[in-house]
Chains A and B, each alone.
Chain A
Amino acid sequence: MASRFWTQGNSDSDDDEPTDIDEPSSDTEPVDEPTNNTANRYIAGIHPDDSDDDDGQKRVVKSAKDKRFDEMASTVDQIKNAIKINDWVSLQETFDKINKQLDKVMRVIESQKIPNLYIKALVMLEDFLAQASSNKDAKKKMSPTNAKAFNSMKQKLKKNNKQYEDLIIKFRETPQSEEEKFEDDEDSDQYGSDDDEIIEPDQLKKPEPVSDSETSELGNDRPGDDDDAPWDQKLRKKDRLLEKMFMKKPSEITWDTVNNKFKEILEARGRKGTGRFEQVEQFTFLTKVAKTPAQKLQILFSVVSAQFDVNPGLSGHMPINVWKKCVQNMLVILDILVQHPNIKVDDSVELDENESKKGDDYDGPIHVWGNLVAFLEKIDAEFFKSLQCIDPHTREYVERLRDEPLFVVLAQNVQEYLESIGDFKASSKVALKRVELIYYKPHEVYEATRKLAELTVDGDNGEEVSEESKGFVDTRIIAPFVVTPELVARKPTFPENSRTLMDVLVSLIYKYGDERTKARAMLCDIYHHALLDEFAVARDLLLMSHLQENVHHMDISTQILFNRAMSQLGLCAFRVGLVSEAHGCLSELYSGGRVKELLAQGVSQNRYHEKTPEQERLERRRQMPYHMHINLELLESVHLTSAMLLEVPNMAANVHDAKRKIISKNFRRLLEVSEKQTFTGPPETVRDHVMAATRVLINGDFQKAFDIIASLEVWKFVKNRDTVLEMLKDKIKEEALRTYLFTFSSSYDSLSVDQLTNFFDLSLPRAHSIVSRMMINEELHASWDQPTGCIIFRNVELSRVQALAFQLTEKLSILAESNERASEARLGGGGLDLPPRRRDGQDYAAAAAGGGGGTSSGGRWQDLSYSQTRQGSGRAGYGGRALSFNQAGGSGGYSRGRGMGGGGYQNSSRTQGGSALRGPHGDVSTRMVSLRGVRA
């Protein structure tokens, strides 16, 4: 029943001629009209000349009376709405409200006459109540709360209506006449003067068919199917009502009206029963009628935050279309801010309520509450969340990814704006958001994004507009009072090269950002450098930032970022052929078997430790979206392969005391497991492959080992696959040669280098270089016979007793040293002049040669010679500390922090690694390296 008003009302406001009204089709219809008329009549009475000079643009000062009436009118609208959806609870509320408003109105107009508007509402309610009571079925269907509200409403209305009995009766008798009486002047009022300003543009903008279809659509709305109607349709109606209210008298819309309405909606926020979408729509409508740019801005901010409210839970994400609108709103906000440089956005001070009253022409600064950066971060978080939630293997995910340019352009604009007002601290935060969108993209992906941004935004703009015209068709009916031209760019600009962009953003952050922002930017920077195969740069950045030491105190998402950067650095090291570095970066990540968790790329199950649901939820929230993942299989292959390359010759060299020098515990364990198997099938997993390769490599069959490793599928994900495999083959050959020499040196007296080159398919200089290095490092007790090109082995294989004796002496010296330390601690430092600790067996030999060798000449040679540690092993403790590991990972040979030149990330301080001189296989992972840090 009630909705029939509606239908009619709509067609009125939409495209109607007065004739429509002249021929009332149903008996209830006219009831609608008086409302507006009454209101208008009053207004007309008070401002007789308004209609002449107002042109919709000028600000109109409204009287308190008008305001009251407006309020009441909107309440009546709410009642109608509630009636339509059979919502007694809100009906009850609005009923109370209208009673209160009535008091106010009475006070204002200082007369005894009850406004027709109110009476009309009562009539409406009465009708609806009667209808509802008679309809038993509907009554039964009501929810308990609704039914309760219905009953109490019935009581209240009865009581209330008694007071106005006469008026109601009178009203019921003469709705028609009253209607008609005012119809004429209203018409002239409205169309005579306002036509040009308001109606025309609408009609231009809004194509006829749309309105037609909508009218018919709405016309079909019968009370019966009201409940089933989609919410947005209802909203639209509701909105339209609001709009109608404003539209009928655009001249009367004052700053106060809007402000009051604004506050009213704002108050409803968060309250029970307030539709979130509805609120957004209400606010959106208000932006159209805002009188000053500042007010529009203020309302827009509320729109955005209302849009954030749409999705209340932490787990879900904001609907995508809302997200898009939100971005558009933010862009409009920026437009306003750019257009009116005197408007300042601030969230720190309590602001004067009337601040936004100051209009266009006001010169001084206007403060508006809001926080651009917080909004931007929220939008980013929502984008991130949506990607987390959407199944990555669907089209939806790809579609969602395509929205990235939207955000990029927003971030870019916000950053530009913040920079233009000189707020670099905030702009560095925005820059970080942008960095976080780029850093993980390899060049190809970046190119694609760039192209997409160029393409889609063109297409998108059109699409956007059409979408908007669909979505906001009704809100566009009146031209916004404050017209905001699109000032800021709607299209992101990407430089040719992702590196250039990174450099610009990152140096801005280093200059102005706070600690966390800087640390994150640094990690992204490292990641990105590693992605581009610039290992040295990435490594230097990592070391000079001292992030390894500090990362444990940072928040978890930064730690995850750190782990990601470390793994990427490891992959990078592997690609450029630095095997031990790669292993150093990755080993700690793998030492706990929780890689997935550490990289936030999936939840790992732990057998021994059940997670609480709370923990699990937290973990889920930290997950990386799929497109940012690092390929775990590749990571594992790289880790195990480099472990194999290091560990196989190491095992061969230390057959006797295998316990002591373990480079990769993880690898050893896997090897043990695989050796225990009674039957080994063909390799399937990455692990199987590497183990199979290890077995053949131990026997010196480099070709087969390489074949097995190369048969892994994952290598296809490596950028320059062929060169990497070439490098890998080379490394395998080298390690095979070393393993061979370690294993079989005792069986030979001399060995021709030609034979070696044949065995291992190595070039002569390469083989020579490898063997020479082994000799210098005393790994191989042999020397070259240059004229014949042979290696002459000196078998100084220790007997078991001798080996044990050496171990004993070593332990003795450790004992002596710990004694000294103990006494030093007791007696106070400096008491003892400690001899420098001998770190490895190798020094013994040199010292023995120097001191005990007897002949001075021999000693001098030895002394002069530089016993070089095996390259790279000193830096094995790369310190890839993964979060939540408390292992004292040595920040080994690389512990050389560097002060930074251009960027100046941190105080330049350099710590010379105390471990730089450490012996070849110093047990890196167990011993803490005391850094003698030298602060600059």
Chain B
Amino acid sequence: MAEYDLTPRIAPNLDRHLVFPLLEFLQERQLYNDNHILKAKIDLLNNTNMVDYAMDIHKTLYQTEDVPQDMIERRADVVARLKSLEDAAAPLVAFLQNASAVQELKADKHYNLQLLNDKYQIGPAQIEALYQYGKFQFECGNYSGAADYLYQYRALCTNSERSLSALWGKLAAEVLMQNWDIALEELNRLKEMIDSKNFSSPMNQVHSRIWLMHWSLFIFFNHDNGRTLIIDLFNQDKYLNAIQTGAPHLLRYLATAFIVNKRKRPQFKDFLKVIQQEQHSFKDPITEFLACVYVNYDFDGAQKKMRECEEVILNDPFLGKRVEESNFSTVPLRDEFLENARLFIFETYCRIHERIDMGVLAEKLNLNYEEAERWIVNLIRGSKLDAKIDSQTGTVIMEHNHPNVYEQLIEHTKALNSRTYKLVTQILEHAQAPAAH
């Protein structure tokens, strides 16, 4: 199933630290050789400051207690640098920890800077040091510290470029700490900045958007409301454009979100067109499933794809999130996806059929006969389906409702009346307004 693994395509668009959860997941799923993953981890860590962690992995990978010399040296290096940065940022950190002093700060940035400068002798150098310190903390894996410092830095900084990267850092830190609510806030803030900022080139902007979308996957598939929000974000023209341009693999997540989210029908039609258009650049069972159901009306194919989709979902680090309940774990998204996918097939199937054999239906729905019958009965009872079961022949008979021609005509003309009336009022109002003057 590794062929549908998107990690190689996603990873380049993530921060180093954000790749770890993905690798952890892959390790768990046993898709790749364990050693390969461990090596990949060390490679990742090489450019971060989490040297201790790297050492641990090295030990497990090579089954030794020895650690390469350069790692030890690097560790000393990191510690020394941490120390110096800490010193540099110390005055500001001390100030920020003093609650009463912080009270003095106001909403006005310039006032604050002035205040710090006059009263506490904290100049731009210290503020800059705070940023570096926060960044370094992040690289060391101390995400909560990093998040705090970067937050405070943002309150004080005047450089918009710096502020932006501090925001990225904050977002990453929150994601890694799994504070989804806060992360979502930061995400929205970042999105606004990206949309409003003047980028030197449109390319940069598109790249920022692609990054943002990748990072947001963590949030959306963990946040309660994420599945609606992901559609809201990804399906915006600008973002859809960015997906089509630079990261068509994100279509998988959008497609999944659409399938599990019943309320977004109008946009869904547009989205199907996008999927068709992007067929040549990205295709996986989930998008193919949609094509089968809504483009080719190939229900057998759809059913086959549905089974593949299950695999894909289970092996996807975002979609296949597990929830542990007492002693067995479930993948909530998978269940939801399958249920909805089944409904999709059934819905379309019913639309074009008058009479359906229950056996065939059960097969198409990946259910056994009894289950299928129960499922249909439930639908009928919930008045979601206008049909009857003929249990003698074992068929479902659709009761299609075909509107009378006259009803249609009435429907057509109904709105005209009110529209015309509205128009007249408006014109009258307009005519009277000048007259009153």
Contact = CB atoms under 8 A, between A and B. Distances in A.
B353 A786 contact: yes
Contacts of B427: 823, 827
A768 B297 contact: yes
B341 to A, nearest CB: 14
A899 B242 contact: yes
B6 to A, nearest CB: 17
Interface residues on B, range: 35 or more
A786 B356 contact: yes
Contact of B410 (A827, A852, A934): A852
B296 A769 contact: yes
A907 B395 CA distance: 57
B386 A857 contact: yes
B277 A855 contact: no
Interface in A795-829: 796, 798, 802, 805-806, 809-810, 812-813, 816, 819-820, 823, 826-827
Given A786-B355, A866-B269, A917-B269, A908 B403 contact: no
Contacts, number: 193
Nearest to A809: B412
A796 B402 CA distance: 9
Contacts of A537: 280
A273 interface: no
Given A775-B352, A868-B294, A936-B202, A901 B245 contact: yes
A164 B265 CA distance: 110
Interface string B334-364: 0000000000000110111111110010000
B423 A776 contact: no
B393 A787 contact: yes
B241 A853 contact: no
A864 B347 contact: yes
A901 B416 CA distance: 48
Interface in A867-896: 868, 871, 893, 896
A89 to B, nearest CB: 65
B383 A856 contact: yes
Contacts of B422: 832
A845 B401 CA distance: 11
Interface string B192-215: 000000000111011000000000
B413 A812 contact: yes
A865 B351 contact: yes
B354 A783 contact: yes
A760 to B, nearest CB: 17
A853 B403 contact: yes
B241 A910 contact: yes
Report the contact-size class of chain A (Cβ under 8 Å from the partner): 35 or more
Most A CB contacts (10 A, CB to CB) among B246, B268, B272 go to: B246
B357 A853 contact: no
A649 B298 CA distance: 22
| Main DSSP-derived SS at the B contact region | helix
Nearest to A801: B405
Nearest to A772: B297
Contacts of A806: 408-409, 412
Contacts of B240: 910, 912
B273 interface: yes
B437 interface: no
Contacts of B119: none
Interface in A218-256: none
B237 interface: yes
B244 A787 contact: no
A378 interface: no
Given A865-B347, A899-B206, A787 B395 contact: yes
A820 B426 CA distance: 10
B352 A852 contact: no
A868 B423 contact: no
Interface in B352-390: 352-357, 360, 383-386
Given A827-B430, A865-B347, A910-B240, A857 B419 contact: no
A627 B212 CA distance: 50
Given A849-B401, A901-B245, A936-B205, A835 B415 contact: yes
A899 B423 contact: no
A681 interface: no
B269 A868 contact: yes
B416 A785 contact: no
Contact of A786 (B270, B298, B360): B360
* B277, B348, B398, B426 pick with most chain A CB within 10 angstroms: B277
B118 interface: no
A893 B203 contact: no
Interface in A426-480: none
Given A844-B412, A860-B384, A908-B245, A831 B395 contact: no
A847 B414 CA distance: 12
Interface in A157-193: none
A765 interface: yes
B35 interface: no
A832 B425 CA distance: 11
A688 to B, nearest CB: 36
B241 A936 contact: yes
A536 B430 CA distance: 52
Contacts of A845: 403, 408
Interface in B246-288: 246, 265, 268-270, 272-273, 277, 279-281
A210 interface: no
A820 B348 contact: no
A37 to B, nearest CB: 74
A896 B270 CA distance: 12
Contacts of B356: 786-787
B383 A857 contact: yes
A773 interface: yes
Interface string B295-337: 1111010000000000000000000000000000000000000
A331 B415 CA distance: 77
Interface string A728-769: 000000000000000000000000000000000000010011
B65 interface: no
B400 interface: yes
A491 interface: no
B423 A819 contact: yes
Contacts of A907: 202
Given A857-B383, A864-B347, A866-B268, A901 B246 contact: yes
A848 B411 contact: yes
Nearest to A539: B277
B420 interface: yes
A858 interface: yes
B368 to A, nearest CB: 18
B423 A805 contact: no
Interface in B139-175: none
A816 B408 CA distance: 18
B386 A910 contact: no
A900 interface: yes
Nearest to B430: A827
Nearest to A894: B277
Contacts of B273: 893, 916
B407 interface: yes
Contacts of A864: 265, 347
Contact of B297 (A776, A802, A851, A865): A776
Given A853-B401, A908-B202, A831 B426 contact: yes
Contacts of B74: none
Interface in A376-404: none
Contacts of A855: 386, 401
A149 B398 CA distance: 109
B238 interface: yes
Contact of B357 (A787, A823, A868, A900): A787
B112 to A, nearest CB: 35
18 contacts: A769-B297, A773-B297, A784-B352, A784-B354, A794-B402, A796-B405, A798-B405, A812-B412, A826-B430, A854-B401, A857-B385, A861-B347, A899-B245, A904-B201, A908-B242, A912-B270, A917-B269, A936-B205
- List 8 tightest A-B contacts by C-beta distance, closest first: A910-B241, A772-B297, A858-B401, A536-B280, A809-B412, A857-B383, A783-B354, A775-B352
